[in-house]
Amino acid sequence: MQRTAFHLDSMSFIKSSLRLLNLIVLREGEGKAFQSHRRGLSTYEALRAAVDDSLNGIQISPRDVAALQERGISRKILCKIFQMDSQVLRFDIAEVTAKLDALEQLGVDGKSIPRLLDRCPAVLKHDYSETFKPLLQQLENFGIGKQLIGRILTYNPRSLLRMNDTGVQIGAARLRDLVKFLLHHGLAISDVERILSRDPLLLVFTSQSKMQQIVEFLNQLGIDDVSISKIIRRYPSILTRNHDKSLRLKVDFLKSLGMDSQRLSKIVVRYPQMMGFSFEHKFKPTVAFLQNAGLKGDALVKVLLRAPQILGRSVDKSLLERLDFFSSLGFDTKSDRFATAMCITASLSLESLEARFNQLVQFGLSKSDVCKILKSQPQIFKQSQEDIQNKVEFLVKHMKHLVTTLPKAPVFLLYSLEQRTKPRNEVMSFLYSTKKLTKMYCWTTTMTMTEQRFNKIFVDAYPEVAAIYKSRKVKELNGLSELADSISVC
pLDDT tens track for 353-379: 999 999 999 999 999 999 999 999 999
Task: Using alpha carbons, list the distances in angstroms from residue 215 to 20, 174, 209, 303.
Answer: 57, 17, 10, 27
pLDDT tier at 75, thresholds 50, 70, 90: confident
Consecutive H or E run containing 178: helix 165-184
CB neighbours of 250 closer than 8 A, spacing ≥ 6? 274, 275, 277, 279, 283
Residue 401: predicted pLDDT: 93
What is the rounded CA–CA span in Å between residue 432 and residue 427? 9
* Closest-CA residue to 415 (of 400, 431, 394): 394
What is the rounded CA–CA span in Å between residue 217 and residue 97? 50
Query: Could you give the dihedral angle defined by the CA atoms of residues 432, 437, 438 and 441, in that order, rounded to the nearest 10 degrees?
Result: -80
pLDDT tier at 31, thresholds 50, 70, 90: very low
Residue 464: predicted pLDDT: 81
Return phi, psi of residue 199, to 5°. Answer: -135, 70
pLDDT tier at 86, thresholds 50, 70, 90: low
Rg (CA), the chain: 31
Q: At what angle do helices 11-24 and 62-70 cross, to 10 degrees?
A: 20
What is the rounded CA–CA span in Å between residue 98 and residue 270? 47
pLDDT at residue 209 is higher than 70: yes
pLDDT tier at 129, thresholds 50, 70, 90: low
Mean pLDDT of 55-64: 54
Mean pLDDT of 267-272: 92
* Closest-CA residue to 234 (of 272, 203, 208): 272
Q: In this structure, which amino acid lies at residue 130?
A: E
- C-alpha triplet 464, 470, 471: angle, nearest 5°: 100
Task: Using alpha carbons, list the distances in angstroms from residue 217 to 174, 262, 367.
Answer: 21, 15, 51
What is the rounded CA–CA span in Å between residue 205 and residue 461? 60
Residue 9: predicted pLDDT: 40
Q: At what angle do helices 165-184 and 133-141 cross, to 10 degrees?
A: 20
Mean pLDDT of 411-420: 93
- Winning range, highest mean pLDDT, from 142-151, 396-405, 429-438: 396-405
pLDDT at residue 101 is higher than 90: no
Task: Using alpha carbons, list the distances in angstroms from residue 132 to 102, 160, 165.
Answer: 12, 9, 9
Q: Any idea which of 153-162, 200-209, 304-313, 400-409 has the lowest mean pLDDT?
A: 153-162
